[in-house]
Chains A and B, each alone.
Chain A
Amino acid sequence: MIALEFSGYFSMGFPKVSFYLAQSVGDSAQETAEQAKDLLTEITLIKVVEAIVIVIVAFALTKLLDRFLFWISERIAKEWRLRVKQFVPFVRMLVLTSAIVLLLNRFLNLSQQNVLAITGTVALALGFAFKDYVSSIIAGLLGLFEAPYQIGDRIKIGEDYGEVMSYGLRGLRLRTPNDDIVSIPHNKIWTEAISNANMGSLEAQVTTSFYLEHYADSEQVRNILYRVAQTSRYTQLKLPIAVVIEEKIWGTLFKLKAYPIDARNEFDYKTDLTLRAKKKFRECGFSYPNLTAMDLENADG
């Protein structure tokens, strides 16, 4: 009954409704135009020039401060190197935020209403168009305070391992052992496990594996490995040295765990330990497991 009445009303009064609807859309458009007029300030040539100057200065300042902080961090005592580098993202964020505020202040009337309107609109637009980009920026901002990784840390994200060289707005850059630079977006912290070897400190544990036959005297090998670590020029003796022994089907696996004075020397350190340990093993007559590929497959299986 109601449906019929409504349908009758609709069919009979359509032109009238259409008129009201058109009028309402017109009002709404006019209102939006008025709001936009309120929101935007008058754009003049001076303001455009000022905006360009602000962008250029902010860009140049970011680059200059980046270079200066990196330059100084490599010249001061190592204990301060990472602290100075970790300061870089904060400086960048400060410059960027200041530039954005100055730009908004030039072109927009930032009243309370306008700020709410802009925030809603921008959030909606960005939500659709730059979802991943915004996600990375937010992750980057949170990362500054949560610090799952900082500049100078040695981290592993997914398959990539290396030293964090830079911490940008959208992502970080890793220098891998092969000297490749890998860019990784910050939003990986939502989904990937991040393994951090040094968490802001200079030292990171290095594990060096040695494979010997079952017949090798494990106690003697352990003593040799301790001495190898104690006499390496890279070893940080303030931190513990450990040797872990594991029996395998094909032989005995010895893992020497120690810390270099500077995590940057990780691979040189590993090489130094391996060279000197192998030399001593040779002197002591220790032999290595001699396995075919098939034996190895069977052992793994």
Chain B
Amino acid sequence: MWIIVGASISDSPMIIADFIQDLADSSYQYKKLPIQSFQYGSRPENDKLRQCLQKQFGNRLPSPDSDRAIAVIPCLENCFLRSMNGLEAIDYLRDSLLTDTSIFWIIGVGQVGWQYLQAISALESYSDHVTHLEKLSGDQLSQWFEAVTNEIDIGFQSSALRSESSENDLNWRTQYFKFLSKESKGVDSVAVQLFLETLQIREEIDKEKENEESSEDDQPPILQAKLPINPSLPSLGGEDVYFLYSLLLHRTLTELQLAQSVGLSLLDVKDKIQALRKLRLVEQQDNLLRLNPAYYPAVYSRLDGDNFLV
């Protein structure tokens, strides 16, 4: 079994899914082994988690070419919910599926989920390799954002970046992405969020400068990137950290799933989530809640300091 551990906010499940798709399509497919990836529209219901795994992997049909196969779970967080019945799928995976030596497993999981699963089910003892995804460097981020930055005219030079920068020989773009890498802790989704939040239309900046004499009316509006800085964590209530931990543990949750995960009533959760959304700490998309990636470094550091297993 090969476990790939990324940051709990990163888009590593998508990266793994794409990688597996490329592998399946390519002519270099290892020994022509069939690849079966765990398919899910959204997170299965709590009592159907096990059935879902069993249905997809439990009754595997033998391949005509080989009796061996590769099975992939890009996001293991979708296979469990921290609740009384929500860990049955993990028990089933550990006790029935991972013991099948004819299947090579590739499993992607977030750092927080991995720590939790290690503590309760010792999954590491079943794995041959555990790979922790490396942090993205400034150069890698710069290369990754090239498609966008080449398309749109973005200015990276700013007085704030100039005052923060210690190296004079680097160009502004390189310095900007180096700084972005440092602030985002090298996590893809955090870098994207910070990048988007730093963009400003040049005209807006000009309006802010009251005494600017030179007129740039003829110049087309271009985007200017401000210095990327992590937002500081707002003051949190006693229970808020448990909610944030739960969101990191599962990546995305509905309100009901979050209530089950923290062991509270849906009504209690709704009030708290509303408050956290107001603080911009939590985002909601299609009924799914997740931590705002821009706050990930601050939340992670807070949870670590508060004695959570992260």
Contact = CB atoms under 8 A, between A and B. Distances in A.
Contacts of A227: 84, 87
Nearest to B86: A231
A232 B263 contact: yes
Interface string A247-281: 00000000000000110000000001001100110
Interface string B127-158: 00000000000000000000000000000000
Interface string A226-239: 01101111101110
Interface in B95-120: 116, 119-120
Nearest to B115: A237
Contacts of B306: 77-79, 261-262
A236 to B, nearest CB: 7
A80 B308 CA distance: 14
Contacts of A262: 306-307
Interface string B263-292: 100000000000000000000000000000
B201 interface: no
Contacts of A231: 82-84, 86-87, 263
A233 B242 contact: yes
B34 to A, nearest CB: 35
A202 B307 contact: yes
Nearest to B305: A77
A175 to B, nearest CB: 16
A79 B83 contact: no
Interface extent on A, as a size class? 20 to 34
A272 B87 CA distance: 18
A203 interface: yes
Contacts of B192: none
Nearest to A226: B120
Nearest to B308: A261
B302 interface: yes
Contacts of B87: 227, 230-231
B262 interface: yes
A174 to B, nearest CB: 21
Given A79-B307, A236-B309, A276 B263 contact: yes
B175 interface: no
Given A77-B302, A237-B116, A261 B307 contact: yes
Contacts, number: 55
Task: Give the interface centre of B83, B116, B119 by most chain A CB atoms within 10 Å.
Answer: B119
A186 B119 CA distance: 41
Interface extent on B, as a size class? 20 to 34
Contacts of B302: 77
A80 B304 CA distance: 12
A237 B309 contact: yes
Given A77-B302, A272-B263, A236 B307 contact: yes
Contacts of A232: 263
B246 interface: yes
Contact of A79 (B84, B305, B309): B305
A144 B107 CA distance: 52
Contacts of A275: 263
Interface string A119-158: 0000000000000000000000000000000000000000
Nearest to B120: A230
A238 B305 contact: no
A43 to B, nearest CB: 52
B305 A80 contact: yes
B84 A78 contact: no
A263 to B, nearest CB: 10
B84 A276 contact: yes
A272 to B, nearest CB: 6
Nearest to A272: B263
Given A79-B307, A202-B307, A233 B119 contact: no
Contacts of A224: 84
B119 A280 contact: no
Contact of A237 (B83, B120, B263): B120
A238 B84 contact: no
A276 B259 CA distance: 13
Contacts of B242: 233-234
25 contacts: A76-B305, A77-B302, A77-B304, A77-B306, A78-B307, A79-B307, A202-B307, A227-B87, A230-B87, A230-B119, A231-B82, A231-B83, A231-B86, A231-B263, A233-B82, A233-B245, A234-B242, A236-B309, A237-B119, A237-B309, A262-B306, A262-B307, A276-B84, A276-B263, A279-B84
Given A237-B116, A262-B306, 19 more contacts: A76-B305, A77-B306, A78-B305, A79-B307, A203-B307, A227-B87, A230-B119, A231-B82, A231-B87, A233-B82, A233-B263, A234-B242, A237-B119, A238-B119, A238-B309, A261-B307, A261-B308, A275-B263, A279-B84
Interface of B: 82-84, 86-87, 116, 119-120, 242, 245-246, 261-263, 302, 304-309
> Which 3 pairs across A and B sit closest by C-beta, in order of nearness?
A77-B305, A237-B119, A78-B306
